[in-house]
Amino acid sequence: MSNFSDFKVKDLSLSEWGRKEILLAQEEMPGLMSLREEYAGQYPLQGARITGSLHMTIQTAVLIETLLELGATVRWCSCNIFSTQDHAAAAVAIGPEGTVASPQGVPVYAWKGETLEEYWWCTEQALTWPDGEYPNMILDDGGDATMFVLKGNEWEKSIVPEVSADDPEDWYELVKTLEKSIAANPGRWIQTAASIKGVTEETTTGVHRLYQMAEDGSLLFPAMNVNDAVTKSKFDNVYGCRHSLVDGIMRATDVMISGKVAVVCGYGDVGKGCCQSLRGQGARVIVTEIDPICALQALMEGYEVKRVEDVLDYADIYVTTTGN
């Protein structure tokens, strides 16, 4: 029996279901599978200690296991409290060769419905490496893992800011988690920041944060803007959102979208996909957009374009796609 217990997921018994879906997803992810085939036995990522903060889904599970096959060591958490697919997390924790009684997978800390306190705790666990080691790469989505390290480094060198119950809950829990961590292990985040060779960022919000930090000098290591790669922004942002938006709304609310008035705030790549998704379900779609070219594009596609303050009192569904 394995002694591996460096993980926290909702239910390991879901792993068989997760493993079946991972095998199906591999057929839909030929890019990653071709990397496994091309570099089989070469381990080009050997020595990479990757902390991932990315939606813990079946597709992410394929990514994680590809990184392992390429030689990396990985620790993982989700970048969202509601997006984790618990069967995917269970399958990753157990691994392709493990069992419920003897897990042999990856340290993953993620379950659907985390509180914000639990979310930041999971982020800390993903950044906590055994045997005195530290991560040397962050694979981020939204910038939270990057921010955790940089704020920890900053506050170890100065002072942890005071917070009150009036502060935003997300910020409050981040500060409290780092305060406890710094008190328990002084110097840890300074060493972690120094160990990191670079970060990859997958979403618009996280990229905005990185550019702001680069401008003010607080970004301490190189960052790769994955979000603006053409194969991401022009495909995942448009077609991924077109696929997933109405599915997410219906799973979360069980509401019929046909006939509803839906407001999409922003008509960039994500907004375009979301509008197509809602229109396909029979919603009446209204777009709000401050960029005149994007607003004109929406109009030419047949959408009604209004100011956001003019639609707050009668729309049924609001979707923000501004990246802020």
CATH code, domain with 316: 3.40.50.720
Q: 288 and 307 in contact (C-beta within 8 Å)? A: yes
**Residue for token digits 């922004």?**
233
Give the mean pLDDT of the chain.
96
- pLDDT value for 244: 93
CA distance 321 to 324: 8
The answer on 203 and 299 residing in a single domain is no
Over residues 75-116, the pLDDT tens digits come to 999 999 999 999 999 999 999 999 999 999 999 999 999 999
Domain co-membership, 144 together with 215: yes
Report the number of secondary-structure helices (H) and strands (E) in the chain.
13, 10
Whether 3 has a pLDDT exceeding 80, the answer reads no
- Tokens 């340290």: give the residue: 107
Query: CA-to-CA distance for 172 and 252, rounded, in angstroms?
Result: 26
174: enclosing H helix or E strand: helix 169-184
One domain, residues 59 and 198: yes
Cβ neighbours of 141 (radius 10 Å): 23
Q: Examine the pLDDT at 303 and tell me if it is beyond 90.
A: yes
Residue 323 has pLDDT above 60, yes or no: yes
pLDDT at position 180 over 60: yes
Whether 324 has a pLDDT exceeding 90, the answer reads: no
What pLDDT is stored for residue 146 in this prediction? 97
206 in the same domain as 180: yes
Is pLDDT above 80 for 241?
Answer: yes
Q: Is residue 3 part of a domain?
A: no
Is the CB of residue 98 less than 8 Å from the CB of residue 105? yes
Helix (H) or strand (E) holding 74: strand 73-77
In the chain, the amino acid numbered 138 is I
Contact 108, 52 (CB under 8 A): no
Evaluate the CA torsion angle 184, 187, 190, 194 in order and state its sign. Answer: negative
Q: Is residue 294 scored above 80 in pLDDT?
A: yes
The number of angstroms, rounded, from the C-alpha of 57 to the middle of its chain's C-alpha atoms is 10
In a domain, 5, yes or no: no
User: Is the pLDDT reported for residue 1 higher than 60?
Assistant: no
User: Do residues 185 and 72 share a domain?
Assistant: yes
Among positive and negative, which fits the CA dihedral 231, 233, 235, 240? positive
Q: Which pLDDT score is estimated for 252?
A: 87
Rounded-to-integer distance, Cα 210 and Cα 193, Å: 15
When divided into structural domains, the chain yields a total of 2
CA distance 218 to 215: 8
* Same domain as 244, residue 222: no
pTM: 0.88
My answer on whether 212 and 299 are in the same domain is no
CATH of the domain at 96: 3.40.50.1480
Asked if residue 201 belongs to a domain, the reply is yes
Q: Is the pLDDT of residue 66 over 70?
A: yes
pLDDT digits (tens, 9 = 90+) for 255-283: 999 999 999 999 999 999 999 999 999 99
Give Cβ neighbours of residue 262 (< 8 Å, ≥ 6 apart): 278, 283, 284, 285, 286, 315, 316, 317, 318, 319
* Low-confidence winner among 36-45, 181-190, 246-255 (lowest mean pLDDT): 246-255
Q: DSSP letter string over 232-291?
A: IIIIIIIIIHHHHHHHHHHHHH----TT-EEEEE--SHHHHHHHHHHHHTT-EEEEE-SS
Query: Does 234 map to a domain?
Result: no
68 and 171 fall within a common domain: yes
Domain span at residue 311 reads 239-320
Q: pLDDT class for 231, splitting at 50, 70, 90?
A: confident
Determine the Cα–Cα distance for residues 135 and 127; give it in Å rounded to an integer.
7
Closest residue by Cα to residue 311 from 291, 290, 277, 285: 285
Q: Would you state the pLDDT for residue 2?
A: 64
Taking the C-alpha atoms of residue 133 and residue 286, their distance in angstroms, rounded to an integer, is 51
| Residue 166: partners with Cβ closer than 8 Å, 6 or more residues away | none
β-sheet bridge partners, residue 265: 288, 320
Residue 310 lies in a domain: yes
Whether the predicted pLDDT of 233 surpasses 90: no
**Interval 130-175: pLDDT, tens:** 999 999 999 999 999 999 999 999 999 999 999 998 999 999 999 9
Q: What is the CA radius of gyration of the chain?
A: 21
* 166 shares its domain with 271: no
Percentage of the residues of the chain whose pLDDT score is greater than 70: 99
25 lies in some domain:
yes
